[in-house]
Amino acid sequence: METPPHTLPLVDQAPATESFRDAVLEGLRTPQKQVPSKFLYDERGSELFDQICELEEYYPTRTEIGIMQENVDEMVQAIGPQARLLELGSGSSTKTRILLDHLDDLGVYVPVDISRSHLMAAAESLAEAYPDVPVQPLCADYTSTFTLPDPPQPVERTVAYYPGSTVGNFQPEEAQRFLSRIAGAVAPNGGLLIGVDLQKDVEVMEAAYNDAAGVTAAFNKNLLRRMNRELDATFDLDRFEHESIWNEEKGCVESFLRSREAQTVTVAGETFDFAAGETIHTEYSFKYTVDGFADLIGEAGFSVETVWTDDQSYFSVQYCTVTN
């Protein structure tokens, strides 16, 4: 007889559909049309991002995994026993398994993701693979305020885990505010294990967001498909193209959807005109220096305790503790 699948209780704090609608309409009304990058991650978007992580050009994932595999014992020691591990934007939780393989006495694992179906698939898989670890999936927009569920047993501390350099999707001022909220969530004696992409050769950085197979382009254009499906929009995907370029002044790769021609699109009953070449800004990918990130996170209420990097200093994983 087959073993029935786990049934995990979901803590559902997902934002209402209207928040996507309101964000899109507000963003498209601005002179530089824009949509927040968090809305790239519906079910299909999350699947495409998992594919991006496997691409040859996309160095962050394999580099971060290598750093974790080489230094996991030190990371586990930093997290400590009987901790609540709060993963922000859990995705497929591939890197989390490296930690869970070595965390013998974890109090509870709380994956947080805005994509309900993707979250539950990952949570169920981890619950089956690690039957001794309590799993509490939380569907929420972790970039906003959310409430942690009560742990099933007492925990010594809360440690947030934020892999993948997703912090780079925030502009620095937004990143500081976001990290301040996380500091509040894990206080008083908590920590943060975070992936931070580092500045390097421009060609390497740009290639990571312009892969030859076009997966990143499909990921970006999936946002148009989502607007068509959920907001009754009339985007013709063939009339837009993906673009990602390094902005030296800002210190980030910026991604856009560029209109190939003059056109008019309807979204949620509202009409928007696009000139030929006009863009929708969809994502920031900020890259930091080690010192620059230490300054940023210091302003957010954390102190960097340890920085692990690869041989080429392409990427870093950092452990930080709350300072106030």
pLDDT digits 0-9 by tens, 55-67: 999 999 999 999 9
User: Which residue reads 């690690």 in tokens?
Assistant: 130
Residue 3 has pLDDT above 70, yes or no: no
Residue 314 has pLDDT above 50, yes or no: yes
Task: State the fold for domain 59-201+287-322.
Answer: Rossmann fold (3.40.50)
What's the confidence (pLDDT) of residue 261?
Answer: 98
Q: Band of the pLDDT at 18, cuts 50, 70, 90?
A: low
pLDDT digits 0-9 by tens, 102-125: 998 999 999 998 778 778 888 899
Half-sphere exposure in the Cβ direction for 40 (13 Å, CA): 27
The pLDDT of 23-32, averaged and rounded, is 97
pLDDT digits 0-9 by tens, 71-80: 999 999 999 9
Q: In this predicted structure, which of 87-96, 215-224, 232-241, 249-258 has the lowest mean pLDDT?
A: 87-96
Q: Average model confidence (pLDDT) for the chain? A: 92
The pLDDT of 229-245, averaged and rounded, is 97
The pLDDT of 151-164, averaged and rounded, is 94
For residue 145, give the nearest of 286, 13, 18, 264 by alpha carbon: 13
What's the confidence (pLDDT) of residue 58?
Answer: 96
What's the confidence (pLDDT) of residue 16?
Answer: 65
What's the confidence (pLDDT) of residue 115?
Answer: 75
Residue 253 has pLDDT above 90, yes or no: yes
Contacts of 22 (CB under 8 A, 6+ apart): none
**Tokens read off for 53:** 């992580």
What's the confidence (pLDDT) of residue 142?
Answer: 86
Sheet holding 240-247: strands in order across? 33-34, 279-286, 252-259, 240-247
What's the confidence (pLDDT) of residue 120?
Answer: 87
What's the confidence (pLDDT) of residue 117?
Answer: 79
